[in-house]
Amino acid sequence: MGRAPCCDKTSVKKGPWSPEEDAKLKSYIDQNGTGGNWIALPQKIGLKRCGKSCRLRWLNYLRPNIKHGGFSEEENRIILSLYISIGSRWSIIAAQLPGRTDNDIKNYWNTRLKKKLFGKQSRKDQRQQQQLARQQAAAAGDGQIKQEAIRDANGTDGLHAGANYSWHHHHAMAVPVHPMSIPMVEGGRVGDDVDESIRKLLFKLGGNPFAALPAPPRMPPPMYEAPCFVAPSVHAAPLNEGVSGMQWSSALPALEMDESFHFNEVKLDGLECFFGMGDQSMRWNEVSPLVCPNNAAAASSSQGMQQYCLLEEPAGLGTMQ
DNA sequence: AATAATCACAACCGCTCACGG
DNA sequence: TCCGTGAGCGGTTGTGATTAT
Nucleic acid strand C within 7 Å of A214 CB: no
Last residue of a domain, one of A164, A180, A214: A164
Euclidean distance between CA atoms A4 and A7, whole angstroms: 8
> CA of A278 and C1' of B20: distance in angstroms?
45
Specify the number of domains making up chain A. Answer: 3
Contacts 24+ apart (CB under 8 A), A37-44: A39/A6, A39/A7, A42/A7, A42/A12
Q: Say if A86 falls within a structural domain.
A: no
Q: Say if A106 falls within a structural domain.
A: no
The mean pLDDT of chain A is: 54
Nucleic acid strand B within 7 Å of A19 CB: no
Q: What are phi and psi of A40, to 5 degrees?
A: -80, -20
Asked whether residue A138 falls in the same domain as residue A225, the answer is no
Domain CATH code at residue A22? 1.10.10.60
Task: Check residues 45 to 84 of chain A and report those whose beta carbon is under 7 Å from nucleic acid strand B.
Answer: 49-50, 52-53, 56-57, 60-61, 68-69
In this prediction, residue A319 carries a pLDDT of 35
Full residue range of the structural domain in which residue A148 is found: 123-164
pLDDT digits (tens, 9 = 90+) for A259-292: 333 443 344 444 544 444 444 433 333 444 344 4
Closest residue to C16 (CA to C1') is A16
What is the Rg, in whole angstroms, of the alpha carbon atoms belonging to chain A? Answer: 23
Asked whether the predicted pLDDT for residue A300 surpasses 60, the reply is no
Euclidean distance between CA atoms A137 and A119, whole angstroms: 24
Euclidean distance between CA atoms A240 and A245, whole angstroms: 10
> CA of A6 and C1' of C15: distance in angstroms?
25
Asked whether residue A222 falls in the same domain as residue A305, the answer is yes
pLDDT digits (tens, 9 = 90+) for A197-216: 666 666 655 544 443 333 33
Q: Say if A224 falls within a structural domain.
A: yes
Asked whether residue A149 falls in the same domain as residue A200, the answer is no
Q: Say if A289 falls within a structural domain.
A: yes
Closest residue to C8 (CA to C1') is A91
Euclidean distance between CA atoms A32 and A36, whole angstroms: 10
Q: Say if A20 falls within a structural domain.
A: yes
| pLDDT band, residue A321 (cuts 50/70/90) | very low
Q: Say if A279 falls within a structural domain.
A: yes
> CA of A62 and C1' of B18: distance in angstroms?
26
Asked whether the predicted pLDDT for residue A305 surpasses 50, the reply is no
| pLDDT band, residue A91 (cuts 50/70/90) | confident
Nucleic acid strand B within 7 Å of A262 CB: no
Q: Say if A175 falls within a structural domain.
A: no
